[in-house]
Amino acid sequence: MNIENQTKSILIDGVWRDIEERTETIYNPATLEPITKVAYGGRQEADEAIQAAAKAIPSWSEMTGRERSGILYKASELMNEDAERLGEILTLEQGKPLSEAIGEVKGAAAFLLWYAEEASRGYGEWIPPSNKSKRLLVIPKPIGVVGAITPWNFPSSMITRKIAPALAAGCTVVLKPAPETPLSAIEIMKILQRAGLPDGVVNLVTGDAEEIGKAMLENKDVRLITFTGSTAVGKYLMQESAKHVKKLSLELGGHAPSIVFEDADIEKAATLVLGSKFRNNGQTCICTNRLYVHESIAEAFTTKLTEKVNELKIGSGLEEDTQLGPLINKKAAEKVHAHLEDAVNKGAEVVCGGAPWDGDLKGYFYEPTILSNVTNDMMIMSEETFGPIIPIQTFNDEDDVIRAANDSDYGLAAYIFTENTNRAIRTSEKLDYGIVGVNDVFPATPEAPFGGIKQSGIGKEGGHHGMSEFLEEKFVSIGID
Ligand code: ADP
């Protein structure tokens, strides 16, 4: 792959820029080799980008939904056509296996497609009046300029999941991608430009997170901030948004429990748990963070899962057959190891794995790990690990395990594995989570609402629910003779 050693990474009002004296180097997390340098933008660039987005609002929002739809359709097509190359760029900057990266790019294109379809369906309401001489209308209006802040774990789909519904609704956007993974963001901007998106409708600013964030928070023109990332930054944005009463949509951390009941299909459940935990090397906010297995099947299930974990191939995501890539950076690797050491010091048993991977690549790789004898006082049982460790606890009572699963400040995703429909319905209703997967660990899809409760966030992404985040309801009351 031929990437220049400096990439223009700031897009304002349709014009690409770099900043020669302020750059940031992007590294391949598998090898720790530099890939390219991008601009390290700050307050000035963010303010200009917001201004461009505000200027673009009238013409973009006044277009018909059908007209906006055409551009999103085209962008989705272009993205699918280029999925292999985009996947390679994604793997290069993020590390995940190429097959997962290409899958993510196609998933990102699917968000553009879904919201291309939704763009012409921003229905309002006609309310039957209680007074004969009135007519009551509810008109959905685009909220205005949107500030979008995205994370590194899904550098492509997290962007289209936010900007596709925003654009469909008639909003304009300033995007700040994660510092680790700006290259996928740059590619998405180029696709939107090629699809015919007018200048200024989407703007991209890479650089100083705090400064760009401040511009979004302090500028009154930004009416909504949509953010995916840590709960700590989400709380900060929420607090600061109070000054101008900005709307927020937050996808924050998770600590997903997976429950394997005694009536589960053991082979199927083990394969699903494997997928849930080790996709993207455990760096997914909805991935299993704690596993509860009924004691009557615990031995058989753990044996099966261990066999599968031992077969996982670690390596560079660009090598064929790799299933586990590197962790994103040193900080991530240190956190994973701290969770392991804390658990072992408090009595956990290492069933397999349990150490940084001793391979021939320089990146931060970690052995896929299973822990048993796990107790609730271990960090791993309440804090997000974001890495390839599964702690297993056993249970023998349905009510007890639901109580344990719900005992968390987070409320993003939970999973249950059972072949008993009554149990599936009963327990999915009792779990305090925004998303419940029943024999399904990949619930994210463009047509359905994805989002957490409690400290996992506010608002939904996906489905018609995702577009309504970007619309405000205007009530028009008409007196008639
Ligand atoms: P992580 O630790 O997993 O990177 P963060 O919440 O720090 O999670 O990052 C998610 C996104 O939020 C990234 O794009 C990051 O640059 C951005 N971010 C971090 N701090 C701030 C901040 N103070 N203001 C605005 N954005 C921020």
Q: What's the pLDDT tens digit per position in 137-152?
A: 999 999 999 999 999 9
User: Do residues 113 and 42 both lie within one domain?
Assistant: yes
User: Do residues 415 and 462 both lie within one domain?
Assistant: no
* Beta pairing, strands 134-142 & 125-127: antiparallel
Q: Quick one: pLDDT at residue 1?
A: 75
Helices (H) and strands (E) in the chain, counts: 14, 21
Q: Quick one: pLDDT at residue 207?
A: 98
Distance CA(346)–CA(377), nearest Å, equals 8
Q: What is the mean pLDDT of the chain?
A: 97
Q: How many domains does the structure of the chain reveal?
A: 2
- 337 within some domain: yes
Q: Quick one: pLDDT at residue 368?
A: 98
- Helices (DSSP H) in 228-279: which residue ranges? 231-241, 266-278
User: What is the tens place of the pLDDT at every residue in 239-285?
Assistant: 999 999 999 999 999 999 999 999 999 999 999 999 999 999 999 99
Buried b / exposed e across 64-98, counting CB within 10 Å, b at 16+? eeeebbbbbbbbbbbbbebbeebbbbbbbbbbbbb
Task: Find the 40 Cα to ligand 1 centroid distance in Å.
Answer: 15
Q: Quick one: pLDDT at residue 5?
A: 84
User: Do residues 101 and 234 both lie within one domain?
Assistant: yes
Distance CA(76)–CA(391), nearest Å, equals 39
**Binding site membership of 149 for ligand 1 (Cβ less than 6 Å):** yes
**Binding site membership of 209 for ligand 1 (Cβ less than 6 Å):** yes
Residues 6+ positions from 47 with CB-CB distance below 8 Å = 215, 219
pLDDT value at 3 more than 90: no
Q: Quick one: pLDDT at residue 67?
A: 97
The preferred substitution site among 26, 40, 50, 149 for testing ligand 1, maximizing ligand atoms within 8 Å of CB, is 149
Distance CA(133)–CA(128), nearest Å, equals 11
Distance CA(256)–CA(277), nearest Å, equals 10
User: Do residues 202 and 56 both lie within one domain?
Assistant: yes
Distances (CA, A) of 371 to 304, 351, 408: 14, 6, 20
Distance CA(394)–CA(257), nearest Å, equals 12
Q: Which domain holds residue 387?
A: 256-445
User: What is the tens place of the pLDDT at every residue in 111-129?
Assistant: 999 999 999 998 999 999 9
User: Minimal CA–CA distance to 417: which of 308, 272, 298?
Assistant: 272
Angle formed by the axes of helices 65-81 and 83-94, to 10°?
80
**Binding site membership of 95 for ligand 1 (Cβ less than 6 Å):** no
Residue appearing with tokens 């993003």: 412
- 450 within some domain: no
User: Do residues 110 and 246 both lie within one domain?
Assistant: yes
pLDDT value at 229 more than 90: yes
User: Do residues 65 and 130 both lie within one domain?
Assistant: yes
Instruction: pLDDT band for 6, please (50, 70, 90 cuts).
Output: confident
User: Which atom belonging to ligand 1 lies closest to the Cα atom of 212?
Assistant: 25
The CATH number covering residue 351 comes to: 3.40.309.10
Residue appearing with tokens 């991209």: 204
Active site residues: 251, 285
Mean pLDDT computed over 449-461: 98
**Binding site membership of 311 for ligand 1 (Cβ less than 6 Å):** no
Strands of the 6-7 sheet, one edge to the other: 6-7, 34-39, 23-27
Task: Find the 145 Cα to ligand 1 centroid distance in Å.
Answer: 20
Task: Find the 226 Cα to ligand 1 centroid distance in Å.
Answer: 12
Strands (DSSP E) contained in 252-373 are 256-260, 288-294, 349-352, 369-372
Answer whether 115's CB lies under 8 Å from 165's CB.
yes
User: Do residues 217 and 280 both lie within one domain?
Assistant: no
Distance CA(28)–CA(394), nearest Å, equals 39
Instruction: pLDDT band for 4, please (50, 70, 90 cuts).
Output: confident
User: Do residues 273 and 222 both lie within one domain?
Assistant: no
pLDDT value at 2 more than 90: no
- 5 within some domain: no
Task: Find the 106 Cα to ligand 1 centroid distance in Å.
Answer: 25
Helix (H) or strand (E) holding 423: helix 421-430
User: What is the tens place of the pLDDT at every residue in 27-81?
Assistant: 999 999 999 999 999 999 999 999 999 999 999 999 999 999 999 999 999 999 9
User: What is the tens place of the pLDDT at every residue in 363-406?
Assistant: 999 999 999 999 999 999 999 999 999 999 999 999 999 999 99
**Binding site membership of 151 for ligand 1 (Cβ less than 6 Å):** yes
Mean pLDDT computed over 190-207: 98
Give, using CA atoms, the residue closest to atom 27 of ligand 1: 209
**Binding site membership of 230 for ligand 1 (Cβ less than 6 Å):** yes
User: Do residues 171 and 275 both lie within one domain?
Assistant: no
